[in-house]
Homo-oligomer: A and B are copies of this chain.
């Protein structure tokens, strides 16, 4: 039996890049096929449709990221360490794979994230949970945990956005200490 693993990987990486560069709707199957060096029909051996391709790329990776965040958070004893671990995870993901980060956290938010069923792990909910726990334990200023989590997430995501636009030169990991410190100033006791 013929092995299509390499082809599928090529489809995944190429379409991820084009989806981020031009947007999902603006990327045609012909664009993907041409950039990946395959025929137009080949994608359909691996995905039922363009929609399924876009959704698979999002849901698989977003679920993995959310699980990883939850795993890292559980490893840490205190709330500050939990939040620091999560922020460093975002920074590392950005530096390692800015295209994937952009697709998951900056682009796909509208259109894909609305399809996430409530049962699946969700990065934002992990952060809310951590902050809620931190408030219970008195490690975080009492208040609305969703509001606090939104602010922390906002700092991280807008930093990534500015990095994408080339507004600063440091890597996200270089700035991780700064981001953690700022986030803690926002939510910390």
Contact = CB atoms under 8 A, between A and B. Distances in A.
Contact of A161 (B150, B161, B185): B150
A53 interface: no
Interface string A145-189: 011001101111111011000011000000100110010011000
Contacts of A178: 143, 147
A110 interface: yes
B158 A157 contact: yes
A129 interface: no
A98 interface: no
Nearest to A24: B25
A26 interface: yes
Contact of A150 (B25, B143, B167): B167
A154 B147 contact: no
A168 B124 CA distance: 14
Given A23-B25, A23-B111, A185-B185, A158 B154 contact: yes
Given A185-B186, A186-B182, A186-B186, A155 B151 contact: yes
A147 B156 CA distance: 11
Nearest to A149: B162
Interface of A: 23, 25-26, 106-107, 109-111, 143-144, 146-147, 150-151, 153-159, 161-162, 167-168, 175, 178-179, 182, 185-186
